[in-house]
Each structure stands twice: as C-alpha cells, then as structure tokens.
A = this chain, B = another copy of it.
Amino acid sequence: MGFQYNEYYNEATGLTVGVNRVLFSEQSPYQMVEVYETDTWGNLMTIDGMVMLSEKDEFVYHEMISHPALFAHPNPKRVLIIGGGDGGTAREVLKHKSVEHVDMVEIDEAVVRASKLHMPHVGDFNNPKLHVLYEDGIAFVKNVKTPYDVIIIDGSDPVGPAEGLFKKQFYVDCYNALTENGILTAQSESPFVEKYHDSIRSIMNATRETFAVAKLYTAFIPLYPTGFWCLTYASKGINPHSEEVLARVNAGVPAIASTLKYYNEDVHNGAFALPNFVKAIFE
C-alpha cells in the first residue's frame, strides 16, 4: 500500500507523487533526508520535504548545472562542487577529459549515504579524481588555497544550511577561489514561485556586482516546483555565447553526446533565452 508525497510550493498548490514505500528516512544533524520508491520516477530523494532529485529526471539538473560551464571554460582542470551530495553533478563534470581533480564539499554525509544506497547509478563515487569532503561549503570557499577553474553551487533551497548560498559574501568568496578564467554556476529556483523571487534577485545582484559576466539560464525539471527552473552562469570574463565558446561546444559535445539526454549545442544557446516575466524579476 502506498501513499501520496506532496510538496506545496504555493499554499496548497504543488506536486503530488505516488509512493510505494519509504526507503530511507533520517534526521541528520542538518536536515531531514528521505528516499521514496515512487510509482513512475524511480527512487526520489527529498530534503526537509523538498524534492532534490529522482532517478528518472536527475539528468536534466545535473547536465544543465555542469556542461554550460565546463564547455565554456577552455581547459577546466580543477572543479569545486558545493553540495551535490547525491553525486550526479560530479558524474557529469567527470565526463570532461581535461578535469583532473574534483572537490565535492557536502555538509551532510547522510545525503551521500542515501544516494549510494538507493540511487547507485547517480553518483560516480569510485572515480579517483573525485574527493568528497564533509564540510560546510560556505566556510570552505573562504579558505581555498589552490583556486578552481569552475565552481558549481549545487545546494538546496534557501532555507536551513543552504541559506548562505544566496548571499553576496558567498559569491565574493567564490570569485576569490576561482582562477583567472573562472566560471561559476548555481541553482537559482523557479521564477513562477513568488517566494523565490528574492532568491533570484539575490543571486543575480550578487553575481552581477562581483563577476564580469552574469546570466540566468533555464531548464525543464519536472519534479521541481512548476517545472521551470533557473540556474546562474557567472564568469570572470568568458561569455557563454562568444564565438570561441560556441566553437568549443560544437567541437566538444560529440565526444560525450551519447551520454547526454538533455544538453546539446542548441540547448547551450537556447537555455539562456529568458521570458519577459523572468527578466522583470531582476532587471
């Protein structure tokens, strides 16, 4: 016998998912981590009652938070992931041959444990280039000794331990932890949900004041509130649509295209087209 998992993003409006059974449920020192076996989306992880990923839809988020930056950078060797405990972002990053070292700084080992146990195909945890550190990412970026080429902010929604991921000082610290050609991407909530508009504005203001290039881009994520999700791209100078980058995308995508279910050359461009009401949130 199953039950319905509900996530309301706006009063009583939201997502409802048929759940067969609970596979994992643990109140960690930081948050409530749960994994459900669902009717049609495979296993689904939630944190504090918010969907993080399902086995069936995670490809969208993980490809889209990784490849626009990894292809835009001419030679990404060192990558830092803040959060990302399920391992999906690291898996996509590690598809890029130039990458030599990935630090994944996840505050909560329960997330990694739940993913390894119940979503074994999401992570690539045995990859020797991947280094998992159970630390607070916000403190970590303040003390980076060897800078990174790409930093990916793969945190949860702006409540609990992820709240600081939406503040300006964090982006200044990230800027300082990046190399000269450095690029940052960050998950940035849904423009259809009014309570998230402040988060979108915070990230866009913080990155525009700190980085030379700062743009919002989009992805269809069916199990996130409204299905319309934003991500932020910020860099010290590399425009994601310069001729040089587009040439790099066109040359690089074919090598890993067979592993990509969402990202491609067209999506690299099209994802940055913002509807008027989205631009109006932060312009």
Which residues does A use to contact B, with CB under 8 Å?
A: 2, 4, 6, 8, 10-18, 38-41, 57, 59-60, 192, 218, 220-222, 226-228, 257, 260-264, 266-267, 269-277
Contacts and interface: CB of A to CB of B under 8 A. Distances in A.
A8 to B, nearest CB: 8
Contact of A263 (B8, B10, B261, B275): B275
Contacts of A40: 10-11, 13
Given A261-B275, A267-B275, A227 B218 contact: no
Given A228-B220, A261-B276, A13 B6 contact: no
A39 B277 CA distance: 21
Contacts of A39: 10-13
Nearest to A19: B12
A15 B12 contact: no
A41 B10 CA distance: 9
B277 A273 contact: no
Nearest to A275: B262
A177 to B, nearest CB: 31
